[in-house]
Structure 1
């Protein structure tokens, strides 16, 4: 089943959700700010995206700038930072089987559904 890791307060995430709704396909909404992601789940998502953990980090977030910006962090430390502060995670993330995309731009979502 298709999953969207969604933040209702984010306009790009809402656009991603609208694209899934328009597709007519079944999907599951995961509000990752409310339902805490585990390190294992986040590691799996990053693997499906085919990126490095740093590429999933929202570097303009205040918490990134204040606590992490000028530090050298391992991949695991980056994952733990995102687990602790889920606002740091780029959004929306859409997963369909073993394929995943960050829905920016929204058209990327259409490539995997």
Structure 2
């Protein structure tokens, strides 16, 4: 079993890029399609603890975010976690967990901060933008 987990939405470009960067490091992560297999509340709470609270896990661009009043800064983590558990589409993606930490990988190249192995060559985003050069170094 992999020691890297990605909470992934295959329709999201950032999620696909983060997955590609993980694979470019030589790792094959455990992929959780969180819309089909949502994380339970306990898992969400553990992720929130490592990412600075529940708010960073929320996808504020989702219409449901405003509809549910989640833009209210007075809401605490319990209410936010309840909303995430009930509505998986609210999860900001991708979220990646490795032995080096947990990050909401927006932008996708944030995943490079927590990968235990270096990149194994060039990697480009779907639009052709170079993220990692042929020597495996991140391009600024």
Give the TM-score normalised by structure 1.
0.90
> More helix per residue: 1 or 2?
1
Give 1:80's match in structure 2, choosing from 74, 78, 82: 82
Aligned CA-pair RMSD: 1.5
Q: CA deviation at 1:106?
A: 2.0
State how many pairs are aligned.
Answer: 112
2:93 aligns with: 91
Q: CA deviation at 1:41?
A: 0.3
2:132 aligns with: none
Question: Highest relative contact order (Cα 8 Å, sep 6+), 1 or 2?
Answer: 1
Distance 1:31 1:16 in 2: 14
Q: CA deviation at 1:97?
A: 2.4
Question: 97-106 or 27-36: which moved more?
Answer: 97-106
Unpaired stretches in structure 2, ≥5 consecutive residues? 116-140
Greater C-alpha radius of gyration:
2
Distance 1:32 1:86 in 2: 7
- Contact 2:100 2:114 (C-alpha < 8 Å) held by counterparts: no
